[in-house]
Amino acid sequence: ESNSTQKTKRSSHEQFEKILENSLEFLSLMTYYRSAIREVETKFQILADESTLLNDRNPINDIQTRLKSPQSILDKLERKNLKISTENIEQEIFDVAGIRVVCPFIDDIDRLANAFLEQDDIVLINKKDYIRNPKPNGYRSLHLIVEVPIFLMHEKKMMKIEVQLRTIAMEFWAS
């Protein structure tokens, strides 16, 4: 083989390796986000269990979770004029992982949000109260961006997740 053919093969091999490395990085990151979703979902289920025990009723009607699709993540990076990298996904996009907690009443939202945020391993990054300050289109919900620890084999990692709390009526309106 000629020298240039070997270089081309090596170059395309290196590019392929880079794609694999990045996809492994991306797959790992998505696994971390799924773990963060499970952590937060469990925290809310425990709060619901305790409330049912103490108050004889469950303050949670439904819990929905979602992980942004790769395409949606890419679109958001482009909208923010950011380079495509796992670092930018982790540092600049706060809603890759999401959980929606649907409650019967606004009081339930306030009680759950406060109890959740009082937990010593939850770090509040941002809070937007669209319940008391609805969006111009009428949308209402409480949005929390939090960091939650996930425990891996050899490390603890803080992951950002968006938590939305709304009532059944707000959920019905939004859909």
Q: How confident is the model at residue 81 (pLDDT cuts 50, 70, 90)?
A: very high
Structure tokens belonging to residue 132: 């008391």
Paired tokens of 155: 């490390």
Q: Taking 70 as the threshold, does the pLDDT of residue 129 lie above it? A: yes
| Sequence-separated (6 or more) residues with CB below 8 Å from residue 89 | 26, 29, 73, 77, 96
pLDDT at 22: 72
The Cβ of residue 7 has, within 10 Å, a number of other Cβ atoms equal to 10
Q: What is the mean pLDDT of the chain?
A: 90
2 vs 105: CA distance, rounded Å: 73
Q: Which amino acid is at 165?
A: L
- What Rg do the C-alpha atoms of the chain give, in angstroms? 21
pLDDT 10s digits, 83-95: 888 999 999 999 9
Lowest mean pLDDT among 122-126, 132-136, 157-161, 170-174: 170-174
> Residue 9: is its pLDDT beyond 60?
no
pLDDT number for residue 113 = 98
31 pLDDT exceeds 60?
Answer: yes
Q: Among 24-28, 90-94, 114-118, which stretch is predicted with the lowest mean pLDDT?
A: 24-28
pLDDT of 172 above 90: no
pLDDT for 44-59, tens place per residue? Answer: 999 999 999 998 899 9
